[in-house]
Amino acid sequence: MESALAANQFLALSAILFVIGVAGVLTRRNVIVVMMSIELMLNAGNLVFITFSHYLNDMSGHVFVFMVMAVAAAEAAVGLAIALAMFKNRETVDVDEVNLMKG
Amino acid sequence: METLLFYLFATLSVAFGLMMIMARQAIYSAVCLIGVMFCLAGLFALLSAHLIAALQILVYAGAVMVLFVFVIMLLNLREKAGLRSVGDMATQLFFVVVLGVLFVPLIASYDAPSATKLAEGFGSTAGVGTLLYTDYILPFEIVSVLLLAALVGAVALAKTRMR
Amino acid sequence: MGLTWGLENIWLVPILPLLGSIINGVFGRYLSKPVIGAVACGSTGLSFFVAVLAFAGLISQNPAYRVYENVLFTWIESGSFVAEAGIQLDPLSGIWLLIVTGVGFLIHIYSIGYMRHEDGYPRYFSYLNLFMFSMLLLVLGNNFLLMFIGWEGVGLCSYLLIGYYYDKDSAADAGKKAFIMNRVGDFGFLLAIMWIFTIFGSIDYTTVFTAANATLEYGGFAVTGITLLLFLGAVGKSAQVPLYTWLPDAMEGPTPVSALIHAATMVTAGVYMVCRCAVLFNLAPVSMVTVAMIGAFTAVFAATMGLYQNDIKRVLAYSTVSQLGYMFLACGVGAYVAAVFHVMTHAFFKACLFLGSGSVIHGMSGEQDMRQMGGLKDKMPVTHLTFLISTLAIAGIPLFAGFFSKDEILLSVFMGHTSGHFFFWFLATVAAALTAFYMFRLYYMTFAGELRAEDKHVRDHVHESPYVMTVPLLVLAFLAVIGGFFGFPIIKGAHALNNFMAPMFNTVGAPEHPHPSLMVELILMGLSVGVAVAGILTARHFYQTKPEAATAMANKEGLIHKIYVTMKNKYYIDELYDALFVNPAVRISRNFLWKIFDVKIIDGFVNALAAMVKEIGSTARLTQTGLIRNYALAMVAGCVFLIGFWLLAIGV
C-alpha cells in the first residue's frame, strides 16, 4: 500500500503523546493516573516502532510492540497491586505522601 | 483519505491525552486513555499493522484498561484537591516543555526513507507469528516467564494478609 | 626384597613422618594418647627401617662412586630455571639419614614418657614429625632449593617447638629470637643459591659440583663470596659466633626437642651444608680459614660461657655450641670426614646427655637448677649410668666415642695447612679441657653429694624414669661407647668412616690428607687425654671434694671475681645485641614508625578519607527525598541534557 503520509508526521505525533505522558507522570499525584501516563508513554513508543516497521518494511517492530504490550500488562498488574497494598496500609494513593526511601 | 484519517486520529489522540492528564477524577482519565488507545489502533491500521491494531484494542483497551478501571472503582477515591506548589509545578513544566522543544529538531532532521512496496502479508497474523516463533522465540519465552512472575507478584502483593 | 628395594623406595623416608604429622595434626584431638604416640613413633620407626635398608643398598654399590639419585618429578620449571623434587643418597646424606631417623626414633619413644603429663600431646608429636620430614628433606634433596625448603622447615619446627609452652613469655620470646636470628643466616644462604644459579644456570648438586672446577677460579671472588654466604647460613643454623645466642634460649622448649633439634640434628645442618659444598669450599682458601677461625673461636668462647651456668640444660646448650665449633674447625682445615665423624658421635652422646637431663628434670618435678640437685646417683641409677658414659664420651676419655672424633679433629688441625693452624689447635685443646671441666662440674653437681632441693615435695618425689625413657637412654649410651670405633685411628684402613666417605671430598683444591707419624699421633692423643683428665680432676676438686673452695674463689674480690661475673653473664653478648640492634629497632619503630608514620600519616590519611566520605554522604542524603516525583524529574532532566548534548554534538 502506497502511503501519502511522511514518517515524520507519525514521529511528531508520537513525540507529542510522549511529552504529554511525561507531563502526567511529573505533575499528577494520584498513583493510578501516574501509571496511566506511563502507559501513554509506552504507547507513544509503540507508535514509533510501528512507523519504522512500516517505512523500513521490516516486521521486527511488530514483534517488539508485542513484547512491550506484554511488559506493560505485567507492569500494570504489579503496579496496581502495589497501589492496592499502599492504599490498604496508608489509606492513600498520593505519591507525595509516600517517602519510605527518604535518605 | 489516509491523510484525513491520520489527522483525525492524531487530533483525537492528542486531545484525549491532554484530557487524561488534566482530568480531576481518575475514572475520567481512564476513559480518556481508552480513547487514546482506540485512536492509536486506527493509526496502526493505517500503517498496515493489522494484527497489532487488533491486539491494541483487545489487550490494551480491553484487558489492561479494565484492570485500571476495576482498581479505581475498588478504591473509590477522590484525588485531594490542589496541585503542588507553584515552584514545583514550574520546574516540572519547564523540563516538559524543554523536552518537547528538543524533539522538534530531532524529528525534523530525520530523513525518512520513502515508503516502499510492502511485502506480501505484511502485518498479518501469519507474518508476525512466524517471526515471533522463529527469530524471537527466546525473548518470547522470557516474556512468558516475566508474565508468570508478574502474576505471582501481583497476587502476593494484593492479597489480604492472613491473621 | 633385595638390596635395591630400600634405594628405590627411599622417598618413603621423608613421606612417612609427614603422614604421621598430618594424622596427628588433623585428627590428633580425637585420638587417645597411646594412639598418637604409636602413630608418631610408628611413622619414624618405619622411616628408620627404610633408611637402614636404603643405606644397606648404598653400601652394596661401587665404593668409588656411591651416589643414588632419583628424580621424583619436576617441581618448578620457569624459563631456564629448573628445580626438581629429587632425592640424592650418597655417603654424606646416608650418614645424616641414619643419624636423623635413628636418633629421631629414639627421641620419639622417649617423648612418649616425657610428655605424658603435658597438654597439647598431639600438637607436640605433629610438630616433631614435621621436623623429621623437613630435616630429611634437607638431607636428602638433590638440589639447593630443596635443601633450603628443608632448612626453613626445620627452622619453623624449631620455632614452634621452642615456643611449645606458648603461654610462657620466655618460651615465646625464645622462639621468636631463634627464628629471627636464623633469618640473618638464611638471607646469606638464599643469596648464595641465587649466586650459584647465575653462575651455573642450575641449582642441582651434581651439575654444580661437576662444573665447579672448570667454571670457578681457585680462590676467586665468586667462589669466595658464595662460600662465605653459604657459611653465613651455616653460622645462623648451627649457632656459631656471632649468631649463637638463640641456642641457649632455645632450651625453653621441651627437653626431647632440645635433644633432637638443638643438639643432634638441626644444628648440624650447617655442618652438613658445608660438607655438601666441600667442592666449593675447597676452591676458596679464604673461606676455609674463616670457617676454621669461627669454629675454633666458638669452641672456646662457648665453653667458657658454659663454665658457670647453673641451669642444667643451658650448660648442655653451650656445650653444643662449643662442639659445633669443633665440627666447623674440622671443616675449615679440610677434615670433612672428621667433622662428619664428630657430628655422628656428638649426636649420640649429646642426645643421651639431653635426654638424661630430661630424665633428671622429670624426676625432679621440673626443676632445672643444678644448685637444687645433687645425690641423684642412687635414686636414678640408669640415668646416672648413661649420663656418666656420655659425659666421659664428651670429655674425650679413651675408648668412648667422643675421644676418637675429637682426637681426629685435633690431629687434623695440628697437621693442617691452614695458616695459624697451631693456634687453632691450641684453642681447640683449651676448649677440650674446659669441656671436660664443665661437663664434670655438671655431673658432680647433679649426681654426686647430697640432694640440695629445699622443697619437701620435690625431695620425696625424686624417682627413676619409666622404661620408655630409660631404654632410649641405654641405647644412646651404648652408641656413645661404640660409636667411636667406626673411625678407629692409628691402624691404617681401620677408619671405616673415612673409607666410606673420603671419595666424596677428594676434589680439586682439597687439602692433602695429613700423614702424621705414629709418634706425633700418640703424643697428641696423650696430650688431649691429659687436658681432659686435668679438667675432670679440677671439677672434682671444686665440686666434689671442696665445694666451698669454688664459692670462695668466685666471691673473692679481684680479677677472678670479675672474670667469673663476666662469664656468668655470658660476656654480656645478649646485652650488647640488645643495645646495638634491638633497642635502636625498637626506638625507631616506636618513635618514628609508630608515633609519626603510623599515627600521623597512615591513620591521618585513613581518618581524613573517612571524614570526607561521611561529609559527602550527609550532603548527598539530602537529595534522597524518597518522593517519586523528584526521581522522575531527575530522570527527565537527565534525558533532556543527554538529548541536548547529542543534538549539539551532531550540530543540528
pLDDT in tens, C179-193: 988 888 899 999 999
In this complex, is the C-beta atom of B110 within 8 Å of any C-beta atom belonging to chain A? Answer: yes
- Whether C574 contacts C245, CB under 8 Å: yes
Task: Chain A: list its partners (3+ Cβ pairs within 8 Å).
Answer: B, C
Q: Which long-range contacts (CB under 8 A, 24 or more apart) does B119-125 make?
A: B119/A57, B122/A57, B122/A59, B122/B48, B123/A59, B123/A62, B123/B47, B123/B48, B123/B49, B123/B50, B123/B51, B123/B52, B124/B50, B124/B51, B125/B50, B125/B51
CA distance A74 to chain B (A): 5
Cα end-to-end span (Å), chain A: 57
Here the ipTM equals: 0.88
Helices (H), C201-284: 205-215, 221-237, 246-249, 255-259, 269-276, 278-282
Is the pLDDT confidence value at A97 over 90?
A: no
**Chain A with chain B: Cβ pairs closer than 8 A:** 236
Confidence of residue A2 (pLDDT cuts 50, 70, 90): very low
Is the pLDDT confidence value at C495 over 50?
A: yes
Which among B88, B96, B102 has the least Cβ separation from residue C647?
B102
Contact A102 C624 (CB under 8 A): yes
Low-confidence ranges of chain B (pLDDT < 50): 163
Is the pLDDT confidence value at C381 over 70?
A: yes
pLDDT value for C119 = 81
Rounded distance, CA C313 to CA C427, Å?
A: 24
Closest C-chain CA to A31? C628
Confidence of residue A92 (pLDDT cuts 50, 70, 90): confident
Which among A22, A96, A98 has the least Cβ separation from residue C636?
A22
Rounded distance, CA C74 to CA C86, Å?
A: 8
pLDDT digits (tens, 9 = 90+) for C99-121: 999 999 999 999 988 888 888 88
pLDDT value for C126 = 92
Q: Which residues contact C410 (CB under 8 A, 6 or more apart)?
A: C425, C428, C429, C432, C524, C528
| Disruptive mutation site among A19, A22, A41 for chain C (greatest number of C CBs within 10 Å) | A22
A14 is a domain residue:
yes
Hey, which residues does C76 pair with through a beta bridge?
A: C83
**Chain A with chain C: Cβ pairs closer than 8 A:** 32
In this complex, is the C-beta atom of C649 within 8 Å of any C-beta atom belonging to chain B? Answer: no
Which among B84, B98, B105 has the least Cβ separation from residue C652?
B105
- The identity of residue B53, as a single letter, is A
pLDDT value for B75 = 81
Confidence of residue C1 (pLDDT cuts 50, 70, 90): low
Instruction: Quote the number of domains for chain A.
Output: 1
pLDDT digits (tens, 9 = 90+) for A63-78: 999 999 999 999 999 9
Contacts of C627 in chain A (CB under 8 A): 95-96, 98-99, 102
Cα end-to-end span (Å), chain B: 62
Is the pLDDT confidence value at A55 over 50?
A: yes
Provide the domain limits for residue A52: 7-90
Cell of residue A74, nine digits: 505485567
- Whether B70 contacts B85, CB under 8 Å: no
CATH number at residue A64: 1.10.287.3510
Rounded distance, CA C442 to CA C306, Å?
A: 10
pLDDT value for C227 = 92
Is the pLDDT confidence value at C61 over 60?
A: yes
Q: Which long-range contacts (CB under 8 A, 24 or more apart) does B79-84 make?
A: B79/A29, B79/A30, B79/A33, B79/A94, B79/B24, B79/B25, B79/B26, B80/A29, B80/A94, B83/A27, B84/A27, B84/A29, B84/A96, B84/C629
Reported in sequence order, the residue ranges of C133-190 that DSSP labels E, i.e. its strands, are: none
A2 is a domain residue:
no
| A27 secondary structure, DSSP code | H
A98 is a domain residue:
no
Closest A-chain CA to C639? A22
pLDDT value for C507 = 65
Hey, which residues does C311 pair with through a beta bridge?
A: C369
Closest B-chain CA to C643? B102
Q: Is C618 exposed, middle or buried (0-12, 13-18, 19+ CB in 10 A)?
A: exposed
| Selection from C447, C435, C352, C337 nearest residue C394 by Cα | C435
Contacts of C626 in chain A (CB under 8 A): 98-103
- Whether C504 contacts C92, CB under 8 Å: yes
Cell of residue C190, nine digits: 638464599
Cβ atoms within 10 Å, residue B4: 8
Contacts of A34 in chain C (CB under 8 A): 628
